Amino acid sequence: MKQNVLILKADNSPAEMHELESNADGQPSFKDVYPLINTNIIEIAQGRWIQGGNKPEGVNVELYCDEEALCKANPQINHRASHLRFNLYKQQFGSSDMPDPRLAGDVAVVFPADLKVKIEPDA
């Protein structure tokens, strides 16, 4: 089975959609994601994708993050990936006691296999 994986670069360059083969556990292989986000250690975080349109719908997604992003020279906050974490935290915590949603470095957004994802050209 193939999964849609959206690469969000911290430098705000255009998002890139990839179709990656799933492992036995239903997730893409780390070895396939490493070169896409320029890392060799991945930390999995959670986020919430809000699909726009007439009836906006949200789905929880996994965020494959560069574990060592803050240790690299000139680390950058990934504002688009951080917004996905903010969406999840807002749902879970409301506006009080929300943890810091910021993520650094390039991030791979792993969508559920059955979700048809639409991205805007400037995403």
On average, the pLDDT of the chain sits at: 90
Query: Residue 94 has what pLDDT?
Result: 82
Structure tokens at 1: 């089975």
Per domain, the residue ranges of the chain are 2-110
Query: Residue 123 has what pLDDT?
Result: 46
Does the pLDDT of residue 27 top 60, yes or no?
yes
* pLDDT more than 70, % of the chain: 95
The pLDDT confidence band at residue 121, using thresholds 50, 70 and 90, is low
Taking alpha carbons only, the member of 67, 78, 76, 61 closest to residue 5 is: 61
Taking alpha carbons only, the member of 76, 107, 96, 100 closest to residue 86 is: 100
Does the pLDDT of residue 80 top 90, yes or no?
yes
Query: Residue 77 has what pLDDT?
Result: 96
48-52, 75-79, 81-85, 102-106 — which is least confidently predicted?
Answer: 48-52
| Region 48-75 average pLDDT | 89
The pLDDT confidence band at residue 5, using thresholds 50, 70 and 90, is very high
Query: Residue 98 has what pLDDT?
Result: 84
| Exposure of 65 in the CB half-sphere (CA atoms within 13 A) | 27
